[in-house]
Structure formats: C-alpha cells, structure tokens
Amino acid sequence: MSQLPFKPAWWLTNPHLQTLWPVFCRRRIKSLAPKRERVELTDGDFVDLDWVGEGAGPIVVILHGLEGSIQSSYVQGMLHAVVKQGWRGVCMHFRSCSGEPNRLSRVYHSGETGDIAEVVHHLKQREPETPLTAIGFSLGGNVLLKWLGETGQKNPLTAAIAVSVPFELTKAANKMNHGFSRLYQWRLLNSLCKKIKWKFQHQPAPFDMSILSTFNTLRDFDNHITAPLHGFLDEEDYYTQSSSRPYLQHIKIPTLLLQSKDDPLVGDNGLPEQNELSASVQLELSEKGGHVGFITGYSPLKPIYWLDQRAPLFFLPYLANSRIENQSNQYSR
C-alpha cells in the first residue's frame, strides 16, 4: 500500500497554527445531517451515536478527543470523508458529550474501554457480516488502542487508526503545563469544570463542588474528580492504569498510528519505540503536524486536511466495496 507522507502547508509550519487552524478556520459541514441512536449500557447509563451515510456499507466508528463531540471539526471532516467512500460513519459520544448529562455519577476518561466494547458488540450483533473499523483522536485514540491491546486476537474490528495519541498520560499532563500549551490546558480545564457543574445541577455530587474553583491544572481535575469518580487512588494511579503505551505490543489487528513530533499537547516524549509495537501496528511519525492538525495545501483559501485522505486510504484494503475517488489528483496538487 502506497504511503502519503505528510508535508505541512508553508503557511502553517508552526505546531500551534496547525492545531488551532481547524478549530477556528475550518468551515462547518452542514450536509452531514446525522441521525442519532441511543445505546443503553449494561450499568444503566447510555451513550449516543450520531450516524451519517446510507445503505448497508462498511462502518467506521469515530472516537472523539477530550471534550469533543460531533461538533468537533476533525470529527465532521472524517465523517464527510467516510461518506465520500460510500461507507457509513458513526460518532460515538463519550458519556455526557452528546449534549445531555449521563445518568450515573461517573463520566468518561482516557482509559475507559468498556463503553466502546459495548457499542461495537451492539453493532456486530445487529450487523454481524458488516466490516467494521474505528478511528480515535487524542483521548479517543488512547481508549481505542488500550481496548485493542486488551482484546488482542478477539477484537472484532477489521482495522483501526489512532491519531495524536497521549500514549503516556503522565508525560502528556506534564507537557500541558509548560509554555503555550498551558492555553490548551486552560481551555480543556474550563470545559471540564463547566460540564461537571452542569451534570450535578439536578443530582447530588459525590464531592464538594466548591473545589472546582481551586483547580489550576488538568492534574488537579484528575486527582480530585476523575480518579475518585472512577475508582483510582489518585491521578498518578489513573494515568498509569489508563495509558495505552503498554498495550501496543498486544494489538493483533492492522492498526495505523499517526503522530507528529511537534504535537503541543503530547510532544515526542513518551512516543513508543519500534520494539514496543506489535507486528500489526504501523507508526507514521511526522516532523510537523501539531495536534490533530496535519494541514497541507498551497493556499490558505484551499487548505487540504490530510487526515481525511490518509485514513480512507489505510482502510481501503480492509473494507469491501469501498472506493477512493480522484486519489492521484488529490496528492499531486
């Protein structure tokens, strides 16, 4: 399979510009018209799925990043790319990320693989012969890789992709506390605290809500909220148990990792070595690309979102009756 190495746009060589451009400048895709499905979980909670595409074609499950949703530009772009191939795409929202608070006190976190396991089981029961793949971004990528490693040969997916993954959560948390990356931390922390306040407006909180105003870092949030809500001793216990890096050697289905060395949320400290990857895992490491950025093209008026092209190309051999249109033209511009 031919590879398409990423080359950043000359006007977006800075990692922060790569990261922020799609957030603030990418146009919303109004033609998606997703249809929502609610999946009831065995613990009494639920997750919401947003579907795009028609017919009975292959399915690509998309796992968003921290505080993401179908409104995230990278999710919309990938769903659009999936539909262009004649496949179906489904965004799996983590608990409380679909616009409605989940029922239980717990929410979601970087190492929770039970929900994706239940959703995929639900889809396979309904369509046992349909090829099924998944792509996870950032936190969603960590969840996906951890689940792939946990299940090994028994995993029901045909293939998988993980993008801009924080393989070691401790190192990622440390990265977010330095330099310009603190801006991303502030934004994510603010969103997480708002969501917790919203969630516990109409049900008793299992902790003192006033503590939220004292948080300065994601470590603070994970130590006082994420860890106790999900049965971890503290944030370090949570980070250690939830990091995907130790699971990479146990993955048995074809898996592509797309990372950039200049990722301002992850960086290159904590990236896995080749001997940590199973024979089924392929790492494509770019010098530049930011965090879930990977934007190329010759003009700011016509940016090319490389991830939306690379992902279908990788999935193509594993999804029957699929197609990629004008592939040679897309990469010769």
Asked if 137 and 143 count as a contact pair (C-beta separation under 8 A), the reply is no
The four Cα atoms 180, 300, 284, 332 give a dihedral, to 10 degrees, of: -170
Q: Is the dihedral of CA 50, 53, 55, 59 positive or negative?
A: negative
Q: Is 138 a catalytic residue?
A: yes
Alpha-carbon Rg for the chain, nearest whole angstrom, is: 19
Burial class (CB in 10 A: 0-12, 13-18, 19+), 273: exposed
Give CA–CA dist 120/216, Å, rounded: 36
Asked if 249 and 256 count as a contact pair (C-beta separation under 8 A), the reply is no
Q: Is 263 a catalytic residue?
A: yes
Asked if 237 and 134 count as a contact pair (C-beta separation under 8 A), the reply is no
At which residue do the structure tokens 């993954």 appear?
A: 165
Residues 50, 263, 286, 308: which is the catalytic one?
263
> Across-strand partners of 156?
none
Burial class (CB in 10 A: 0-12, 13-18, 19+), 302: exposed
Residues 138, 181, 242, 243: which is the catalytic one?
138
Strands 46-52 and 35-40: antiparallel
Smallest Cα–Cα separation from 19: which of 189, 163, 167, 220? 163
Q: Is 31 a catalytic residue?
A: no
Which residues are designated catalytic?
Answer: 138, 263, 291
